[in-house]
Amino acid sequence: MSLTRKLSDLKKRTKTAAEGGGEEAIKKQKAVGKMTARERILTLLDPDSFHEYDLFVEHAGKDFDMDKKYLPGDGVITGTGTISGHPVCVYAQDFTVAGGSLGWAHAKKITKIMDVALRLNVPLIGINDSGGARIQEGVNALAGYGEIFYRNTLASGVIPQISVILGPCAGGAVYSPALTDFVFVVDKISKMFITGPEVIKTVLGEDISMEDLGGARVHAEITGNAHFYAESEQECFDQIKQLCSYIPWNNTNKAVRFQSHKPLTKKYKINEVFPTLPRQPYDVRNIIRAVCDDSEFLEVHEKFAANIVIGFARMDGCTVGFVANQPLVLAGVLDIDSSDKAARFIRFCDSFNIPLITMVDLPGYLPGVDQEHGGVIRHGAKVLYAYSEATVPKITLILRKAYGGGYIAMCSHHLRADFVFAWPTAEIAVMGPEGAANIIFRNEIKNAENPEEVRKHKIKEYKEKFANPYVAAAYGYIDAVIDPNDTRDMLIHALSISADKTAGMPKKKHGLPPF
Ligand code: HXC
């Protein structure tokens, strides 16, 4: 065969394989508002940067007439490309081919690109749109998932792993994302569940729609399985690119440094966004915006456990992870979900050399039977563990309340914060003045001629003594009480002098965080 004919043969084979499940299946995919797997990759990556591998891999199924079927690319596209000029490894499952189900060869393609990502130290982005283990392939499909989960675990903390859920993902198709660092979902398109509505109906007799069982909102708001929520696939890909601008490419690098930009102080003035009344709620995100570059804050897990805020911003051009109690929601308490949310984020930042700034304003851990029986002790301990274990620069700012366990947990000096600053409005105490006065002056109040007056007097006395930053500052637990208007300068200075921090942990195989 001449080279010309060989080239034309290659073209023909490539075209057939790249067509996926064919016209009808693609039409069905489009009808529900979904892009094709190939369009997704091309939208996500820099123009002309995608290079595909293993296009001609064929499936290995023999039973149930599978040997008579041709499954182009075995239902998954794999390759490399760039985002903002930086290399990434990527795969996208193709629902038009056997529902994106995962057979042995499909899994081999994914694990091969995962191995490349780990070998070359570049992020891995997986676009999931799959009915889970390919039923006809039996244990080989399960083996494939096991190999993926193992690699997800090996890669954890070494390269960033991002999962995008863009279809009905069932069974194994949701466990790999659960092992990765960030999960993105899109309204009406993403569904995640271990077993679908039909199985639930059969086993439990319960009726539930796919959307109510595991739709995008469910995972963004209730379960916390999704970190980012978008209204459309395009918005989702834009969010991924934005996230990639904040995180380093692997655990041996720092994130790319940008030009420093001042915050938009006309819009976000600390004096205006922070209330004068000590019990008035406010949106802590506006405090972050008042101090960070360009007032740009990429919030992670925005809809889940909103009593704590986590996300990325830049200070003097460098990426920082912010963790802040949110007084707007449940007074910013730590509870089961907010502890899980914060602890995981702290560990991501620590794994990938991202300094942490913690903003504190909370009355403590949330009391209640539900919380106690749900394991708030175990979950709350995750925050203590994550902060104690983190060796990246840790800078804490106490804005207002830092009571009880909350004071310790929110990156106090005792958990090895490098610097702890406080505004003059800070109150550091074992509990709020009202509760404290009621307990320690109980008898005096009870036996007084005018109990209410004595109670008020005792609260005032307690406030004057403890509800300020100066007692903690006198013991050196706070390094500086600062004018709120100096916050950005103080934070940038603290970050800059701790940039080359080297700190370690005792030698061990691994610790035992309270999972
Ligand atoms: C083989 C599958 C498949 C699967 C879907 N298909 N899932 N083929 N194995 N797991 C095929 C369908 O037969 C169909 O083929 C095509 O993909 C499209 O599927 P539809 O059902 O028509 O699509 P839709 O109505 O949108 O429903 C999507 C779905 C549903 C919700 C994902 O297909 C479904 O419930 N699938 C099974 C989910 C499941 O239980 N998976 C196994 C999980 S166990 P045709 O030829 O008709 O177009 C698992 C074990 C791992 O993953 C556990 C690890 C811990």
pLDDT at 337: 97
Residue 23 makes CB contacts below 8 A (sequence gap 6+) with: none
Q: What is the pLDDT of residues 170-183, one digit of tens each?
A: 888 999 999 999 99
The boundaries of every CATH 3.90.226.10 domain in the chain are: 3-246, 270-426+468-497
* Mutational pocket test of ligand 1: of 93, 129, 135, the residue with most ligand atoms within 8 Å of the beta carbon: 135
- Confidence band, pLDDT 50/70/90 cuts, at residue 503: confident
Q: Where are the alpha helices (DSSP H) in 190-321?
A: 197-204, 210-214, 216-217, 233-246, 270-273, 284-291
- Confidence band, pLDDT 50/70/90 cuts, at residue 20: confident
Residue 394's nearest CA partner among 353, 363, 338, 364 is 353
- Confidence band, pLDDT 50/70/90 cuts, at residue 223: very high
pLDDT at 59: 81
* CA 322 – CA 298 distance, rounded (Å): 10
Strands 298-300, 228-230: pairing kind: unpaired
Q: What is the pLDDT of residues 237-282, one digit of tens each?
A: 999 999 999 999 999 999 999 999 999 988 999 999 999 888 899 9
pLDDT at 265: 87
CB atoms under 10 Å from CB of 67, counted, come to 10
Q: Which has the minimum average pLDDT: 17-26, 360-369, 403-412?
A: 17-26
- Phi, psi (rounded to 5 degrees) for 461: -60, -45
- Confidence band, pLDDT 50/70/90 cuts, at residue 497: very high
CA distances from 287 to 12, 75, 270, 282, 326 (A): 58, 47, 6, 9, 11
Give the residue, by CA position, lying nearest to ligand 1 atom 1. Answer: 134
pLDDT at 499: 94
Burial 232-243 (b: 16+ CB within 10 A, else e): ebeebbebbeeb
State if residue 101 touches ligand 1 by the CB under 6 angstroms criterion. yes
Better-predicted residue by pLDDT, 115 or 279: 115
- Taking only Cα atoms into account, the Rg of the chain, rounded to an integer number of angstroms, comes to 26
- Confidence band, pLDDT 50/70/90 cuts, at residue 403: very high
Better-predicted residue by pLDDT, 449 or 230: 230
- Confidence band, pLDDT 50/70/90 cuts, at residue 151: very high
Tokens 């915050």 correspond to: 263
Q: How many CA atoms lie within 13 A of 382 on its CB side?
A: 21
CATH topology of domain 270-426+468-497: 2-enoyl-CoA Hydratase; Chain A, domain 1 (3.90.226)
Query: Is the pLDDT at 61 greater than 80, yes or no?
Result: no
* CA 108 – CA 394 distance, rounded (Å): 41
Query: Is the pLDDT at 112 greater than 80, yes or no?
Result: yes
Q: Which atom of ligand 1 is nearest to the CA of 191?
A: 31
* Percent of the chain whose pLDDT exceeds 90: 82
Give the residue, by CA position, lying nearest to ligand 1 atom 31. Answer: 168
Instruction: Output the CA 140–ligand 1 centroid distance in Å.
Output: 16
CA 131 and chain centroid, separation: 25
* CA 169 – CA 428 distance, rounded (Å): 47
DSSP string, 72-130: GGGGEEEEEEEETTEEEEEEEE-TTTGGG-B-HHHHHHHHHHHHHHHHHT--EEEEE--
CB atoms under 10 Å from CB of 225, counted, come to 18
pLDDT at 438: 84
| Domain 3-246 CATH assignment equals 3.40.640.10 | no
Instruction: Output the CA 229–ligand 1 centroid distance in Å.
Output: 24
- Confidence band, pLDDT 50/70/90 cuts, at residue 67: confident
Instruction: Output the CA 131–ligand 1 centroid distance in Å.
Output: 4
Instruction: Output the CA 65–ligand 1 centroid distance in Å.
Output: 17
Give the residue, by CA position, lying nearest to ligand 1 atom 45. Answer: 98
Residue 402 makes CB contacts below 8 A (sequence gap 6+) with: 360, 361, 362, 410, 412, 426, 427, 428
Query: Is the pLDDT at 63 greater than 80, yes or no?
Result: no
State if residue 394 touches ligand 1 by the CB under 6 angstroms criterion. no
Q: What is the pLDDT of residues 419-471, one digit of tens each?
A: 999 999 999 988 888 888 888 888 888 888 888 898 999 888 888 888 899 99
Instruction: Output the CA 193–ligand 1 centroid distance in Å.
Output: 12
* CA 486 – CA 482 distance, rounded (Å): 7
Average pLDDT of the chain to the nearest whole number: 94
pLDDT at 467: 83
* Mutational pocket test of ligand 1: of 101, 148, 152, the residue with most ligand atoms within 8 Å of the beta carbon: 101
Burial 376-414 (b: 16+ CB within 10 A, else e): beebbbbbbbbbbbbebbbbbbbbbbbbbbbbbbbbbbe
Q: What number is the average pLDDT over the span 20-40? A: 93
Residues 57, 17: contact at Cβ < 8 Å? no
State if residue 149 touches ligand 1 by the CB under 6 angstroms criterion. no
* Percent of the chain whose pLDDT exceeds 70: 100
pLDDT at 351: 97
Q: What is the pLDDT of residues 287-337, one digit of tens each?
A: 999 999 999 999 999 999 999 999 999 999 999 999 999 999 999 999 999
Q: What is the pLDDT of residues 326-375, one digit of tens each?
A: 999 999 999 999 999 999 999 999 999 999 999 999 999 999 999 999 99
pLDDT at 65: 78
